């Protein structure tokens, strides 16, 4: 065997400029965030949602009045230094009631999103992964539940449980997760044929691990997009029910209840409708803009 000496080694030639990496390596989520930041409308919606959420948290505490406190001597006052958004027919501060109602509406939307994650994602993932008769039975159950009108379910629950926040959440939880389950099922049906699923099965991974560690995480981008549309849909549903008088109980406030009260007096006291309608519209538009931006940012087809 020849002796190894320093003469056998030579410096490697300089790397060709064309072979150099033009940009640093980034992850999928970093690239999605970079593309989302370039979408001005999506970022505007994102910042508006942050501002509305912060005001829903701290807004009621910027005034000394509570959401149920009545000032009969200051009924139907216009916006002024003491009452920034004016008062209603009972002298209650509309600033406090507006942000308190926004907090309740956001809470209902977040609870609806959690139900989508806990029920819809797992249901759709299990149905698609096992397939066959299990998938047929689970899909027939979805069709039966989906055929029941949501308003009918809500009225029946209000008769049994009474009107309130948890009644609305429970009624939405019965049928609200179906869209998420169908979306996840469609994604898992295409993902379970991939090679990494076959490799995990060959290595002895359990079905639960494959669903929770491989299939659902790879469908996470579609799940996030669906959630951005689920939250405003739940908020709109709550507003619709409160507008019909089937929402939260008085003296609690929600955006739907404030809109319902404002419509009845819009010709005489227009500010009672203006401010709730403005916050409600900004919230709906912001969620839709953010959802559209996330759909474009998380789609690999738009990656450059």
228-252 confidence digits (pLDDT tens): 888 888 888 888 887 777 777 777 7
CB contact at 8 A, 120 and 296: no
Q: What is the DSSP letter of 82?
A: S
Highest mean pLDDT, choosing among 97-111, 162-176, 208-222 = 97-111
pLDDT in tens, 176-218: 888 888 888 888 888 888 888 888 888 888 888 888 888 888 8
| Lowest mean pLDDT across 18-27, 94-103, 280-289 | 18-27
pLDDT at 4 over 80: no
- Residue 238 CA to residue 169 CA, distance in Å, equals 9
Domain boundaries, the chain: 45-60+93-302
CATH architecture of 45-60+93-302: Orthogonal Bundle (1.10)
Q: Please state, rounded to an integer, the average pLDDT across all residues of the chain.
A: 82
The residue among 85, 84, 90 whose CA lies nearest residue 69 is 90
> Model pTM greater than 0.75?
yes
Which tokens in the block code for residue 226? Answer: 């669906």
Tell which wins on pLDDT, 66 or 205. 205
Q: What is the pLDDT of residue 78?
A: 86
- Residue 256 CA to residue 236 CA, distance in Å, equals 8
Q: How many CA atoms lie within 13 A of 270 on its CB side?
A: 2
Phi, psi for 123 (deg, rounded to 5): -65, -50
């Amino acid at each position: 065997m020849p002796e190894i000496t320093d003469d056998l080694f030579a410096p490697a030639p300089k790397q060709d400029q064309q072979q150099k990496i033009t940009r640093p390596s980034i992850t999928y989520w970093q690239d999605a965030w970079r593309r989302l930041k370039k979408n001005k409308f999506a970022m505007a919606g994102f910042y508006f949602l942050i501002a509305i959420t912060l005001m829903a948290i701290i807004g009621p505490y910027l005034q000394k009045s509570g959401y149920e406190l009545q000032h009969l001597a200051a009924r139907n006052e216009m916006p002024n230094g003491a009452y920034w958004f004016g008062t209603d027919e009972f002298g209650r501060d509309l600033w406090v009631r507006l942000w308190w109602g926004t907090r309740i509406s956001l809470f209902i939307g977040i609870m609806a999103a959690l139900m989508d994650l806990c029920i819809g994602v797992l249901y759709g993932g299990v149905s698609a992964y096992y397939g066959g008769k299990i998938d047929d039975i689970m899909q027939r159950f979805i069709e039966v539940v989906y055929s029941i009108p949501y308003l009918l379910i809500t009225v029946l629950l209000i008769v049994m449980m009474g009107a309130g926040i948890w009644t609305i959440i429970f009624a939405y939880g019965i049928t609200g997760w179906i869209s998420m389950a169908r979306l996840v099922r469609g994604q898992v049906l295409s993902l379970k044929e991939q090679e990494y699923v076959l490799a995990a099965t060959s290595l002895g991974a359990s079905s639960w691990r494959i669903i929770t560690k491989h299939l659902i995480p790879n469908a996470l981008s579609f799940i996030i997009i669906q959630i951005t549309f689920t939250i405003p849909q739940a908020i709109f549903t709550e507003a619709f029910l409160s507008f019909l008088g089937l929402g939260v109980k008085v003296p609690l406030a929600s955006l739907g209840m404030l809109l319902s009260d404002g419509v009845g007096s819009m010709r005489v006291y227009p500010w009672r409708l203006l401010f709730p309608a403005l916050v409600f519209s900004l919230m709906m538009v912001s969620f839709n803009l953010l959802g559209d931006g996330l759909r474009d940012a998380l789609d690999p087809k738009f990656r450059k």
